[in-house]
Amino acid sequence: MVESLAQMVVELIESPDVVGLATHRHYPHERMIYSRFGRCGFSIDVVKMEGGVRRMYSVLVEAEAIRPQGPVKDFTRLPGRVTLIMARSGNGFTHTVSTAEYRSGDEFFSAVESVRQAFYRKYTSLRLKAPAAVESVGEEIFHQVGLTADELHLGV
């Protein structure tokens, strides 16, 4: 179920060895987008210290409603599938793909909310520890703390 994928991301974010976070592909109006198009997604980066080495975990989540025949008033009432792709840095990136189904958009967004809350709890904690390290990196990043320019991969 979608809750198990959300829990996996929450546990990654809440790890005590997390030193950096960033949001990418964040939709401020996810529910509206989903209700109209039946798809949405988000991406976050999580940097952990593992054995004295900074390790990047990039998470991409994409959800898509199962489309019926004919017009749809609101996709949030329909079941769907979510795909979670996690890329772990090392010698290149190692990718794992997990999928789950959900009964409705409300179930999906409940799981997203648990990830969002975990992200902002950890983000706030990291900002309080090192406020001077936070700098603006442009509109592509909505929130970031503790990542180096190389880790942000903004194509610059």
Give yes or no for a contact between 17 and 50, defined as CB atoms under 8 angstroms apart: yes
Query: What CA dihedral angle connects 67, 71, 73 and 78, to 10 degrees?
Result: -20
Q: What pTM was estimated for this model as a whole?
A: 0.85
Residue 44 token pair: 């976050």
DSSP 8-state code for residue 35: H
Q: State residue 156's pLDDT score.
A: 43
The pLDDT of residue 91 is 86
11-58 pLDDT, tens digit per residue, is: 999 999 999 999 886 666 788 889 999 999 999 999 999 999 999 999
pLDDT, tens digit (0-9, with 9 covering 90-100), for 126-155: 988 875 544 545 544 567 787 776 676 654
More confident residue, 8 or 134: 8
pLDDT tens sequence across 55-96: 999 999 999 999 999 999 889 999 999 999 999 998 888 999
Instruction: Taking each helix axis as running N to C, give the angle between helix 30-37 and helix 105-129, from 0 to 180 degrees, rounded to the nearest 10.
Output: 150
Paired residues of 45 in beta bridges: 22, 58
Specify whether the CB–CB gap between 39 and 64 falls below 8 A. Answer: yes
